[in-house]
Every structure is written in structure tokens, then in C-alpha cells.
Structure 1
Amino acid sequence: MKTQISTFLTFQENNAEEAMNFYVELFDNSEIVDVQRYGKDGPAKEGTIMKATFKLNGKEFICSDSPIKHEWDFTPGVSIWVECESDEELKKFFEKLSENGKVMMPIDNYGFSQKFSFVEDKFGVSWQLNLQ
């Protein structure tokens, strides 16, 4: 069996499903692959995500609603890089991902890219949007 490496997103506000659906709807060639939920006797709220696998433009991600409230949350030190195909695409992702989130670097030419932006979405996940 081939070793599988995936990005894992741990949500602490019982919003893993909302985030996953938001991302799958936003990016083309994306889908929910599998969803496993906590049952009534589980360690977390019944119906929340124990483990869900989804793909964003063909790349696999896994997420869950943590039954444990951790001292930590997402950090911008680890972010999801999106190589955009057009100015319009970058602007669309910027608008959707920064809505109710935070713009850490607005769309601009920072010298290493023709257009770049760094945003944190409403779930706390960081995204780097790039147009070469």
C-alpha cells in the first residue's frame, strides 16, 4: 500500500461540515468523499463530524469536529496555497474566503508574485492566493 499524506483540519466549534461544504462549493473539481459522524454514545455532539474526507481541486483533505476543546486553534504559520489561473479567479477566492474573516495581506504585487493575497477565512483557516 502506498503511503497517503493529507492535510487534516481540526475544527473546535462543531463547524467542520459547514467549512467542508463551503470549500467544496467554492473550488472547481471538488467533492465530499466520505463522512463519518459521531453517534449518540460518542465523545462529541451527535451528528458532528468524526472524520470526513473531501477533495479540493483533486487534493485530499480530512477534517473533524474535535470533542476536546484544545488550547490551540489554526495558525497562519500553516496555510493552504492556491495557485490561481486568472485575476478574476483570485478576486473571487479573495472575496469569498475573506468574508467574515481577516485580510492579512491585501491583493497586491509583493515582488515575489504579480498578484498575491493572504487571508484567514471565517473558520480560522489561512489561505495564500497567488497569481503568477
Structure 2
Amino acid sequence: MRAVTPFLMFQGQAAPALALYLTLPGARLLHRQDTPGGRVQMAELELSGQRLRVTDSPVPHAFTFTPSTSLFLDCDTREEFDRVCGALGAGGEYLMPADDYGFSVRFAWLNDPHGVSWQVNLPA
């Protein structure tokens, strides 16, 4: 086995989701291939050393993302934590607003505007 890579499947929102994720610290686009219709056929980005694959589903489906699976980000500074939460939380929904919950200096759990769930952490 080579690697385990999170795979995010959108329904027409992959391009704006990629644009958002590429604003995060440590993010870079590794590959992107679009369909003739302009949807993301397959893209791969790296976020702080973790590869993520992103696509727009060619087939409509009745399911979407759920917070039971989330991407967990450890930040190095309070400024980075605030920047990440600000970017991902704009237009999204906080499940746990940024606060000190006793297990780290600062933590937030949110769904970004495209429905992907993120846990953002500033460890002690």
C-alpha cells in the first residue's frame, strides 16, 4: 500500500472549494484536470504535507459531507489559527466556536461553506 489520501467529492463546488483551501497556510496545488464543461475532474493539493484529492462527481447523488468525518488541522500560532478559522468559517457553520475547551489552547470545529468539516486546533 502506498498511501491513504482523503478524497473529497463535490457536486459542482470543487473549484471554489479548491480556491478556498489554497488560501490556507502550507497549501499548494499539485495537479488539476478539468472536464470540458469546466468542472473539476480530478485535483490534488497538499495542505501542510497531507495530500487531498478533490473532484466534482460526474453522477448526481443524494449524499454529501458529514461532520462524522473531518479534517484535523494543528496550527503553530494563534495568528495562524485565527487565519484558518476565518477563511474556512466565512460562509460556513461553526459546530464548536473557537474557544479554550480545556484540551488545547484554542479549538474550533466547523463546516466550511462547501460542507467539509474541519477541526482546527492550537495545541498547548
**TM-score, length-scaled by structure 1:** 0.86
Structure 1 partner of 2:25: 27
Structure 1 partner of 2:119: 128
Which sections of structure 1, spanning at least 5 residues, go unmatched? 40-45
8 Å contact from structure 2 (residues 97, 109) kept in 1: yes
Mapping 1:1-132, distance limit 5 Å: 3-12=2-11, 14-28=12-26, 30-39=27-36, 46-132=37-123
1:7-52 per-residue CA deviation (whole Å, 9 max, x = no partner) reads 100001x121221121112222x2111112223xxxxxx1211111
Which sections of structure 2, spanning at least 5 residues, go unmatched? none
Distance 1:103 1:63 in 2: 23
Distance 2:29 2:105 in 1: 33
Give 1:95 shift: 1.4
**TM-score, length-scaled by structure 2:** 0.91
Total equivalences in the alignment = 123
Name the SS of the counterpart of 1:26 in structure 2. coil
Give 1:58 shift: 2.1
1:45-75 per-residue CA deviation (whole Å, 9 max, x = no partner) reads x121111111112211101001222111011
Distance 2:19 2:25 in 1: 10
RMSD: 1.3
